[in-house]
Structure formats: C-alpha cells, structure tokens
Structure 1
Amino acid sequence: MSTRLKRICALALVGAIALFAVACGGSNDDNGGGGGGSSGSSTAGTPDPADVSGKIVVWDVFYRSFPSYTRAVPELDAAFKKKYPNVTVEHVAQPFAEYQALQQAAFTGREGPDVMMMPNAGGIRQFQKGLEELNDRITPEMQEQLTGWDAVTPGYRTEGPHYGVPIAQTDFMFYFNKRLFRRAGLPTDFEPRTWEDLRDAGLKLKAAGIQPFTGGNKEGYESQWWWHMAWPTYNTQEQAVALADGELPFTDPAVAQTFEPEMMMQRAGLFERDRFTTPFFNDGWMRFADGKAAMILGGSTNTAYWGDFNRALGEENVGMFLPPGSKYISMNPEWSWSIPKFAENKDAAWAYIDFMASREGLEMLFEMTGELPNRKDAELPADAPSQARQIRDWYRDGPTFLATDVLTPSQVTQTMNTEAKEWLQGRKSKEEMLESIQATSEQVNR
C-alpha cells in the first residue's frame, strides 16, 4: 500500500516507485549508506519550541504528485510552524522516477535534506547505514501509540533500532459496485471465502452482461498487486521475509502458487481485452469510478480508493472485501520520515517528524487526504465514511504485516511486472517467468 497507489502506486503503491538498475542499490556499501557525523541533542519526546530554531529541508516524493496531499502540505507545514515559530521549512518536491537515484547521490555525497521521506521498507533497508537511529528520541508513548514500526526496523520487527517514524497506514483491497452486484443477483455484502468464489461471482456478472473486473496492467503494477494480495492466502509472514531476503526462491512451489489467482481470473475471461494496453493511472481505475465494471483492485488511501469511488458512485454503492482466506492482512505505513546522518539541523528535523506523527498531525492528514491515521489514539471524524471505518477496523483487529511486495526489493518487483505480463499473455511459460524473477532476486541479494 501508496497506494499512492498510492504510490502512484501508490498504494504504493510502493514496490513500483523506482525502476533502477541494481547498481543504484548499495545497501551493504558504505557509499550507498554512509553518513557524516551527528550533530544536535537526542532528547526523547516532543522538543521545547524555545530550544528549536533554524532551517530544515524536507524531501517529499508525494508532494506535487498527488493533488489532495499537495494541497495538504502547506497547511501541515503551517501548523508545524505555528508550534515551532523559530523553524523555517523548505519543502522540496522530488520526482518519483528519479527519487532512488537522488537518495543514492545524497548518501554518497553526504549532503542533502534534514528530513527524508522513505516511501517503503525497502528504502530503509537500502540506506540504513546513512540514517540516524531514532530510538533515543522516541518515547515509550510514541512506540506504543504508533503502528508500522516493522517497516523501519531491521528484520521487520516492532522492537529494535528504528531508522524512521511510520506515517499513516495503507495497502490494497478489492472494491465492488453494489448496484451492479444487485443487478446480477449477487449479495451486496459479498465476502468470498475462496478464489473460486471470486471467479464464480465474476462469471455470474459476465452472464448478466456486466464487465466483472476493470483496471489497467500496461505498467505491470496490477500483476504485482494481485501477487501480493494472494500471498497471505497461501503463505506466512515468515515466508514473506525469507523471500525478501533471498532465502526462499521465487521458483519454490509456495511462491509459484501465489501467481495463480490472477491467472484464474484471466482464464475465466473476467478482465478487459485492452487490459495490457491500458495504464492503471489514471485511465484504468477511472473506469470503475465511471461505473463501467463491477470490481477493481484498488488502494485504501489517496488515489484509486474509497474516497474517489464514493464521490463518483455514492458511498452506499461502494463495497469492499479482502483476499479470501488470508492468514493475515497486508498493511504498511504510507511512508516514513527519516533523518540522514548528514542532516545539519537534527533537533528541528525531529521536531518536524514528531509533529507529523502526533495525533494532531495525523488527524489533519486524514481530514485533508483520507490517509488513515496509524496512531491508536487518533480518532476519525464523526462523519467519516463507512469504508474508512471498515478499513480502520480491519487494520486494528489484524493480524497485520507488511505487504510482500513492499518487503521485496524494487528491482525484483520491476522484473516481476515485466515478466508476469509476458506469462499472462502466453509469450512465456510460468517457469520462465519465475526463473527470470529469481535471477534478479539473486543479483540483488548477492
């Protein structure tokens, strides 16, 4: 999830953020993860405004990329400025396509921002050596209130050294048009127990003259999302970590089976014929908003999510369901804020992060963007849509863990995006697809 999809990919989409060569990695290289010395204190908790001053530079890959978030940034920064009047914020929008390379250059040259957005767990892992460990600043209260610490901690654990502070919570989920389901004689509280149940519902929609699924897979993102949605219906959290670390090969039957649900839907003829020539952003998801199909795999926040669909179809007509039979629910921070070791104003940088992760900051973020708060004490507005409340309940009730594609290095998911399209269109065998993905995984984890 970025869903930014969030990410414009949001949700993040998130494994599809950067399409870079392995040479841009450097997670075990001092140039890729080095850093200068420390400056400033490391007192835990919310800083005293009287003790914090100067300028901070914030790098943000979502700013200027997503309209609602772009509108929110000045208001969030103004709220921070009101609390810390002696701090000046320079908020720099960085391009998605070039962000990983810009980060690499900053850590190599030991020069860049005071606060750096990390769009996914892979970025923390890659640049960990160049990031400040923040445990001395994080209070027990913050540790307890916030969720998502596994995304910023080595080994994907909630306890341990934290190299960032997680913000918001997101992932993907299935949406359906209740009006079209009703027309096909399907329940409006649809909740499939198996992938076969989902296929059969699609066939019933098709028989009623209704397009079952819409979207767009020109970039290959959808195949990545279908794969990671299927993962927890077959495999465990431990297997996901083993896969990301290169210990479980993509050619293993446990991994291979997670590609099958998407192929099941394709063999049943449930996708549109132009799926592989239609980009998901923004052509594909708009078709669902326009009422042209009954289901879509979308995000939980920001783009191609309940907010967009409610405005177009009406809140009462937008249903949601999770992958059938999941052992756990995929849930990720939308992003995290980190402090590079070379930051010049670390105390002011921490004040900024502390505010953005506060109840006030996260509640403001939700009200302006729909980003779900990842604080236990943050409340949704009384008039929050039912979909936001349902997702919040899913994430709170758990169990949850990071999405498998968020754990997987971006170079690997990019190969997956390309190879899965070839397999789905019959130009490569499943074995050939898996071997190509595994070759990239071995190169990255070498």
Structure 2
Amino acid sequence: MRQRTLWPLILATGLAVAGCGSAAPTKPSAGSAARKIVVWDWKSGEPGAASYVEKAKTDFAGKHPGVTVEFVAQPFDQYYTLLGAALQSGKGPDVMLFNGGGQLRDRVGTLIPLDPYVAEDKERLAGWDAFSKDGKIYAAPVTLQGHPIYYNKSLYQKAGLDPASPPKTWNDFVADCAAIKKAGAKCFALGNKEGIGIQFFMSGLGPGILTPKEYDDWIAGKRDWSSPHVKEIFSLWKKVNDDGLNNEGANSTAMFNDAFTVFDTGKAANIIGLMSDIGHWKDFGEFLGPENVGVMTSPVVTAGATPVLPYDGGIGYGVSKTAKDPQLAADLVRSLTSTAALTAFYEGAGAITADTTIDVSQSAPAVAAIVPQIKGGKPALHVALSSKTLDLMGRLSQQLLSGSASVDDVVTQLAASDKAS
C-alpha cells in the first residue's frame, strides 16, 4: 500500500536556505499561490530520507510560499508499473523519481528536458549522463550509484589475511576465498531472486574483465556480445556459483535485503554493494563496525583490464510533460538537489550524493576509500542497457546459475535484445 505524506509549504520568508546551491529566490510562477505539485517516488516515506525531504521542502517554500507539495511514496517493487499506468491514463504526478539509465531513458517521451532549468547546477552535481538521452537532460541527480566491492576486514584477519591489502588479481582473490572458507565463511554474499544480482556482478567485476577500449565501446553502445571477454563475465558468474563461492541458494535469496544480511552477519566476506543509501558503507558499518568495512576495486581477471570504480547517477527527479507549471515543478527538482538537502541525505542516510561540494573528509574509512575514486571512475556497465534487456538478463542469469542455459545461448539472446532496444 502506498504511503502519502502531505506537506503544506506555507512559510513567511521568501529567502532560500543558505548554502543550498540554488540561485537567488525565484520569482513565484503566475498563480502559484493556489497550486499543488504532486511528487511520486519511493524514498520520501523512508526514515533515513526524512531530514532530506524536510530540507528540500523548506528550500522550496522559501521560493514559493503558499504552494502545496504532496509526496506519494510508492512501493519500489511496483513503482514503474504504477507510474506507467498513471502516465498512460493522464493522471500521473508532476515530478517523478527515476533510477538512472534504462529506467529513465525508456521514458523520456513522458518528460520535459530540464536543460534550461538546471544550467546553474551542472558544475556542482555529478552523474548527469545517467539521466540524459540524445544530448538532453531529463532528470537531476540526487545520488551517485556505484558498485564497490565491500569486504569484512575482521573476517580477512580471522582467515590469516592482511585486511589492509585486498587482492589485486582474480587468482589471488580465489586463493583468499579458500582461506576464508577454512575460517568458516563464504566468499561472496549474493542475492539473485529478483534477477538483479547479475547487474551488480557485471558492473562490480566487469572492470577487471574488459579492456579499457572494450569498456568504453560498451558504454558508447558498440557492444560485442560475442567477444571472449563479454562471455567471460557470464562464464565467471556461473563458475563462482558452481565453485561454491556464493552463499547457498543465490537464486532464492533476495538482494534487498537478504543478501546484505548475509554480509552484515559475517556469513560471507565480500559483497558487491551500493554507494547510495542502502546496501552501502553505512548499513554495513552499523553491523560490522565502520573500521571493519573495507573497499576494493575489481581484481584483474583478464590481462589488459584496468579496474576503475563503476558509478553513475543513482536516482534523480524529472518533470512530467503533463505538469501544469513546468517552471514550478523544475524549481522543486532544484530544491530536491540543493546542497542543503543533499547534505542532509548524506548525513541521515549515508548516501554518496551527486553534490561534489559536500565535505566527507570526516566520514568513515569506506567513504574515504570511495570518494577519491569518483573522479577517475566510469559509468557502470549494466546502466548502459535498456530496462527490457536488463529484465531479460536477470531471467537468463537465474537460468545460468541453475544450469538450464548456456553462456552462448545467454549472450545470443542478450545481443538480440540489445539490438532491438
């Protein structure tokens, strides 16, 4: 059941929140005093996002006194189905939250380009590419989403390994896994019940498999699904499971949040996690202790690979073509991506936000390991794919783990889907 949170934004002041990253107070749109903006997302109802939403609505109220904003928090597992139905019926929201990549790009026909409205924010925020198509921006980034490999330093130490020196090559990684097994834990925590474990695996380990040129070609849309290195991603996916490196029953384990629990409880030493506000450094640190949460880049699997941090814009807000006042809706998007709001999101939920001006120097060791890699990072491999291809890849990945599909069959089907997208 969806959760509704209705905030009448009626504040006397006309001043924006200091340090919000927005321009001077915006002149209210004509008729805005009697207006309401409806926002759909899956974040506003979560406790960790409460201070973020509060800062954003305060910023917006300072620019548009009297305008009411209604946040409708939808369940994430039904979000895009519900959104599609609402948009098709002409009763969709004014402002909508999207995951970066295919989920956004497949729906740009329902959105207005934001370029005229967010020009002043482009230098401050990172992750725009995940919310762009054909040179136009359709949503403003809130978080950066990436797939670092987290490891449990205490388990590494228990296994007689040096937690300060994680493995650099795949052979070393597998050798470490053998030591970890002797210490009583699995190597990887994996959840693929939703079919998204393969997305984490592709983007987390792909930088150690593809050469830099292959990687760049993939992101640019020049994908050769029949190449040996692309096949290696899926071969390794199957081999890791066949060799018992994953927790038992990966296909029946939900990534959100059962796989994360496997890692949190010390039953597995490594997990390909997230950078945003779940399955990330802060969640893991609350269970393991911040000092025990390590971060590594992908071990090198094939010669010539140069591992980097895979990341994109994580989630971002866009404006519907049906919005009655696009300027007003775009101003709300700017408030939702203001420095004040994103600082609150980082402090409250631990999200690595899109705002590059936020000081994270006093944060946990894992953040200190992640943030410096952002500048040299590259877009995540799976984000370049359409939502239809990702759905197919999820189903095929389950078949690979169960042994009912071959790698050649999988890449052939994915190539056909990718070409048709």
Same-fold call, TM cutoff 0.5 = yes
- Kindly state the Cα deviation for residue 55 of structure 1 after the two structures are TM-superposed: 1.7
Q: Kindly tell me: are residues 80 and 368 of structure 1, through their superposed partners in 2, closer, same or farther at Cα, counting changes over 3 Å? A: farther
Contact 1:306 1:388 in 2 (8 A): yes
- Kindly state the Cα deviation for residue 241 of structure 1 after the two structures are TM-superposed: 7.4
Structure 2: gaps (5+ residues): 1-21, 301-305
Corresponding residue number in structure 2 for 1:330: 310
Could you give the per-residue CA deviations for residues 296-342 of structure 1, whole angstroms, max 9, x where no partner exists? 22222322211111111111111111212444321122212111222
Corresponding residue number in structure 2 for 1:403: 380
- Kindly state the Cα deviation for residue 243 of structure 1 after the two structures are TM-superposed: 5.1
Distance 2:178 2:274 in 1: 24
- Kindly state the Cα deviation for residue 240 of structure 1 after the two structures are TM-superposed: 5.7
Corresponding residue number in structure 2 for 1:63: 44
- Kindly state the Cα deviation for residue 278 of structure 1 after the two structures are TM-superposed: 2.2
Contact 1:87 1:348 in 2 (8 A): no
Corresponding residue number in structure 2 for 1:104: 84
Amino acid at match of 2:108: Q
Residues 407-446 of structure 1: matches in 2 within 5 Å?
Answer: 407-442=384-419, 444-445=420-421
- Kindly state the Cα deviation for residue 358 of structure 1 after the two structures are TM-superposed: 1.9
- Kindly state the Cα deviation for residue 179 of structure 1 after the two structures are TM-superposed: 1.3
Q: Kindly tell me: are residues 261 and 386 of structure 1, through their superposed partners in 2, closer, same or farther at Cα, counting changes over 3 Å? A: same
Distance 1:248 1:262 in 2: 19
Corresponding residue number in structure 1 for 2:164: 189
Number of equivalenced pairs = 391
Amino acid at match of 2:36: K
Q: Kindly tell me: are residues 135 and 439 of structure 1, through their superposed partners in 2, closer, same or farther at Cα, counting changes over 3 Å? A: closer
Amino acid at match of 1:434: V
Mean CA deviation greater in 318-327 or 346-355: 318-327
Corresponding residue number in structure 1 for 2:231: 256
Amino acid at match of 2:144: Q
- 1:276 pairs with 230, 251, 256, which one? 251
Distance 1:163 1:349 in 2: 13
Corresponding residue number in structure 2 for 1:387: 366
Contact 1:199 1:265 in 2 (8 A): no
Residues 29-40 of structure 1: matches in 2 within 5 Å?
Answer: none
TM-score of the two chains, using structure 1 as the length reference: 0.79
Contact 1:243 1:250 in 2 (8 A): no
Contact 1:177 1:291 in 2 (8 A): yes
Contact 2:206 2:298 in 1 (8 A): no
Residues 292-307 of structure 1: matches in 2 within 5 Å?
Answer: 292-307=267-282
Distance 2:92 2:192 in 1: 35
Amino acid at match of 1:433: V
Q: Kindly tell me: are residues 46 and 339 of structure 1, through their superposed partners in 2, closer, same or farther at Cα, counting changes over 3 Å? A: farther
Residues 344-355 of structure 1: matches in 2 within 5 Å?
Answer: 344-355=324-335
Identity across the alignment (%): 28
Distance 1:222 1:378 in 2: 30
Could you give the per-residue CA deviations for residues 91-119 of structure 1, whole angstroms, max 9, x where no partner exists? 11123233333443444444422211121
Q: Equivalent residue of 1:145, what SS? A: coil
Verify: 1:164 aligned to 2:139, yes or no. yes
Distance 2:138 2:125 in 1: 14
Q: Kindly tell me: are residues 102 and 277 of structure 1, through their superposed partners in 2, closer, same or farther at Cα, counting changes over 3 Å? A: closer
Residues 103-182 of structure 1: matches in 2 within 5 Å?
Answer: 103-139=83-119, 141-155=120-134, 160-182=135-157
Contact 1:46 1:354 in 2 (8 A): no
Contact 1:244 1:409 in 2 (8 A): no
Structure 1: gaps (5+ residues): 1-44
Amino acid at match of 1:277: S
Amino acid at match of 2:173: L
- 2:336 pairs with 335, 352, 356, which one? 356
TM-score of the two chains, using structure 2 as the length reference: 0.84
Could you give the per-residue CA deviations for residues 165-219 of structure 1, whole angstroms, max 9, x where no partner exists? 1112121221211111111111111332222221111012113333322233333
Mean CA deviation greater in 350-359 or 325-334: 325-334
Corresponding residue number in structure 1 for 2:4: none
Distance 1:57 1:437 in 2: 37
Amino acid at match of 1:402: P
Q: Equivalent residue of 2:273, what SS? A: strand
Amino acid at match of 1:313: L
Could you give the per-residue CA deviations for residues 142-165 of structure 1, whole angstroms, max 9, x where no partner exists? 22121111112225xxxx422221
Contact 1:57 1:114 in 2 (8 A): yes
Q: Equivalent residue of 1:378, what SS? A: coil
Contact 2:143 2:351 in 1 (8 A): yes
Q: Kindly tell me: are residues 208 and 61 of structure 1, through their superposed partners in 2, closer, same or farther at Cα, counting changes over 3 Å? A: closer
Contact 1:46 1:351 in 2 (8 A): no
Q: Kindly tell me: are residues 93 and 136 of structure 1, through their superposed partners in 2, closer, same or farther at Cα, counting changes over 3 Å? A: same
Amino acid at match of 1:416: M
Mean CA deviation greater in 77-86 or 175-184: 77-86
Contact 1:166 1:333 in 2 (8 A): yes
CA-based RMSD: 2.6
Contact 1:133 1:162 in 2 (8 A): yes
Distance 1:72 1:376 in 2: 17
